[in-house]
Structure 1
């Protein structure tokens, strides 16, 4: 069956595999009405029902946290030269400290994400920010190798949250047709701030000394603590007894008691906040769905295009919205679930193909990027380049340019692609449709990596190496954001565990590559190291065709396993 044709089971939504949904009502006006997936409840406190302004503000704060963590992790590499001179740290020790951090990035989310699932996202964001503040001060006062190792271990252990908890937040707050852009922004922030951190740190180290980098970090994290504490709201949804599902609501409109609630979504993906006054009702459509929507009975009069709010459910006050924890009930089963989340990600990784594939793609591309970072810090300070710390930092600017171009194109293209292809399939969306958006970016990965690796090996002019960095990041940024969004759309109910699995593999690649890097380069040369890693990357990337062709079949085959683990999650919705 063509990937662009309609389903042969259009009228039997109960038979669809996880992730397949009706995304547009082709019988509606202009055949362009987007169906809200997942279906929100009627509770005004449900994050899916927040206004776009409120959603974006929360997401901006998440990105601010990600930016600070990414900068902290990567600001250390330009300081290697000065630390080598002042404290006598060898480059092997510095390399090993970076690898130890990568290992803790893999381990941290495995330990910490169960707490986010149990107690909510907010306490993890807040505690991690406070810890990063303390570690910044420790870094500024560093004296021994033990300091270096412990700082890297603790910083990356808790910094690992930035690689897994964000996708949980995106799934909490945004609908399917919005996630591509949100994940593209996240990947852009993570990569751009990783590179900008190194860029700025190089100049600070050169002008003010390497310890000044960490004092600046302490100041910034101090500000972020205040902003997160009083601005970030919990996105984990815990319905109260009076909440009812939107699926059971009538199709007539109800008026919200605040402009903080989401309003109708049209084909251009605009959520307009209606200026309401007491006694007035918002205008909503009453079209019934002519085709079933997954989770709805055929013939239901439920309005699937808009948010319907129950005015009888009280809205939380500002201080209630800033509660430190949002805890799932502490039943015996719930306590067992907490422990299960520490090993379930590894089970899902080994048993659900889409999770395995997403982890391999993300892991090999980020791992190769980390190899680029460490080789730049080592090779560019040696002949024929003889770069200073500031110049090494400057070489991260092309990476920022690359990720910005990739994110600016990849995010909108990803969401546009799924809407366009869904319309050609009678409004039905399969997550594999998103993978078609990877194709334009595939050539940039090998082109950029080879230009960088071979150029560095041959001592070519630095602008050629810079172009290689731009090209590689133009390809990597959209590919990573698309693959993460594909995973979120396919297996939303286990996305916390799934992203932990991805993070474990991603950082395992980085750890293995960086620990082995020095002897590996000594044995075969930097050129062949890059060629070897790139060959592995190309084999993994080209498997996306397998998922375009058989991804839906895999979701059918492993649906019962997914449902089994979905039922073992905390019941948030």
Structure 2
């Protein structure tokens, strides 16, 4: 879109919003998107500490699930010796888990949409606790397979429900950082789990890897049960959307109309100063009470958004906020709404280009990373490396360094960049703006994968392999974070279904690669396996240029389809 003010005949696609009031006296006059209600119980209106506390608890859950899924790699050697599991069986058990990571979201996310996020987080944590006990007592191949199947089936929630929580709690200009934190926590726990598991397996025996999980998950059950609040918003009848000034007030023209979904109307929330708030509160006889009558997004004095809340809506008590379920009906009251969320993600996956693109990018990068993990666990214990379980665990350190560097850069960069670009375009924000941030990180993916693959294949010194792991993760972490945020910003009203589709593809890549890995390596060698997957990855990654150029047109052309599926969602926010 050009920088000219939009006219009344323009139709804006989903995801395009007014993000800044360029006529305001301060340059940081951000307009909050999406629009909150005047309900003090609306998660968008929660205080910062409450939002970050909930996000912190979600990160704990994500870390524990990621660790559980990946901590088994350093135990493969001792399990092979004690229980006689072949490496092919161990590979197959990991692949079976990946398949269930794909299936789990299809089966479980409809429950999160219908009954809330809290019951799913809590039930999954309790189940992981029970499965940790089973893992510690494992004896047979059937135990190994069933544990992987059940753990990944319910652990799949950590790959989808978190973005739903982020969309519940945070505004558009904050999601880049939050998704970067999520990707960082997931990958950090994945690699840290392997690191710690290696030392535990050597020092205390491989079964103690799982006994420590029993202890930690046992504590986590109580933390989630008594600390995590529901972020799914079920509005009372008295709640209404905060009424902002129109885009006519901002741009001097009538606001464009987008008919696809009521929650994507492009009304905007103006950034009011403290002086304006006091005048408004005095005029309407409402006290300026920061705890009950107003809400503030406190970042800095010049970037504080304050608006009046409805004093007639009581705040929920602590125990009300911890209710087990938050049930809502569908917008159109259709009886098939619950079941449709089990197949709807697959329809969206193949009919909306942005979802397809996000799924392919996320899938190929995670799949390649899983192949690197599996080959490392298989080849490093053998000659010429002869690594012990703790040494294999130490190979997680370069990966930890890589994901941390990538996350520290991309979170602030992504959010700063969209604010900067929207300011240059009369305050208009398009989700494709974030995709430009992929460019600096693209070279790290092939450089890291090639260094790792060639080093392992040619038996080069282990520091070369370690550098390859670090470089790969410096590239992967930001790209995955940006892709997830792009999808969330583009299609918030169907984000649950969209992420399920992404997760299905992501885990199909991992499942297919790992099931085929042993014969594939036997046929052409580990180097060429990694090169082949890397070529597929590069072919997919170059499509980001297509979406920078045509992504908005794709969103425009699929607007009616988006409208249709948005109306089939459960009503979680009052319509404008």
Whether the TM-score (by the shorter chain) exceeds 0.5 is: yes
**Structure 1 CA distance for aligned equivalents of residues 212 and 385 of structure 2:** 29
Give the match for residue 507 of structure 2: 507
Give the match for residue 373 of structure 1: 373
**Structure 2 CA distance for aligned equivalents of residues 108 and 27 of structure 1:** 48
Give the match for residue 548 of structure 1: 548
**Structure 1 CA distance for aligned equivalents of residues 442 and 452 of structure 2:** 16
Cα distance, 1:557–1:515 mapped onto 2, change above 3 Å? same
Q: Can you list the C-alpha shifts for 1:451-477, whole angstroms capped at 9, x where unaligned? A: 001110000000010000000000000
**Structure 2 CA distance for aligned equivalents of residues 127 and 156 of structure 1:** 14
Q: How does 1:144-543 map to 2 (within 5 A)?
A: 144-247=140-243, 252-253=280-281, 254=286, 255-256=288-289, 258=291, 262-264=295-297, 305-329=305-329, 333-543=333-543
Aligned length: 536
The question of whether the paired residues in 2 share the 8 Å contact of 1:362 and 1:502 is answered with yes
Helix, strand or coil at the partner of 1:33: coil
Tell me if 1:6 matches 2:3.
yes
The question of whether the paired residues in 1 share the 8 Å contact of 2:295 and 2:308 is answered with no
Question: Runs of 5+ in structure 1 lacking a partner?
Answer: 272-304
**Structure 2 CA distance for aligned equivalents of residues 167 and 54 of structure 1:** 17
The question of whether the paired residues in 2 share the 8 Å contact of 1:170 and 1:183 is answered with yes
The question of whether the paired residues in 1 share the 8 Å contact of 2:331 and 2:567 is answered with no
The question of whether the paired residues in 2 share the 8 Å contact of 1:163 and 1:503 is answered with yes
The question of whether the paired residues in 2 share the 8 Å contact of 1:51 and 1:259 is answered with no
Instruction: Give 1:11 deviation, angstroms.
Output: 3.5
TM-score with structure 1 setting the length:
0.91
Instruction: Give 1:30 deviation, angstroms.
Output: 2.4
Helix, strand or coil at the partner of 1:325: coil
Cα distance, 1:554–1:332 mapped onto 2, change above 3 Å? closer
The question of whether the paired residues in 2 share the 8 Å contact of 1:51 and 1:261 is answered with no
The question of whether the paired residues in 1 share the 8 Å contact of 2:293 and 2:308 is answered with no
The question of whether the paired residues in 2 share the 8 Å contact of 1:50 and 1:261 is answered with no
Give the match for residue 282 of structure 1: none
The question of whether the paired residues in 2 share the 8 Å contact of 1:367 and 1:506 is answered with yes
Query: Which sits farther off after the overlay, 192-201 or 13-22?
Result: 13-22
Instruction: Give 1:334 deviation, angstroms.
Output: 4.8
Q: How does 1:33-112 map to 2 (within 5 A)?
A: 33-112=29-108
Instruction: Give 1:438 deviation, angstroms.
Output: 0.5
Instruction: Give 1:34 deviation, angstroms.
Output: 0.2
The question of whether the paired residues in 2 share the 8 Å contact of 1:42 and 1:244 is answered with yes
Cα distance, 1:562–1:330 mapped onto 2, change above 3 Å? closer
The question of whether the paired residues in 1 share the 8 Å contact of 2:110 and 2:338 is answered with yes
Helix, strand or coil at the partner of 1:24: coil
The question of whether the paired residues in 1 share the 8 Å contact of 2:26 and 2:302 is answered with no
**Structure 2 CA distance for aligned equivalents of residues 331 and 509 of structure 1:** 35
TM-score with structure 2 setting the length:
0.90
Cα distance, 1:395–1:268 mapped onto 2, change above 3 Å? farther
Q: Can you list the C-alpha shifts for 1:138-194, whole angstroms capped at 9, x where unaligned? A: 000000100000000000000000000000000000000000000000000000000
Instruction: Give 1:331 deviation, angstroms.
Output: 9.6
Q: Can you list the C-alpha shifts for 1:476-517, whole angstroms capped at 9, x where unaligned? A: 000000000000000000000001011000000000000000
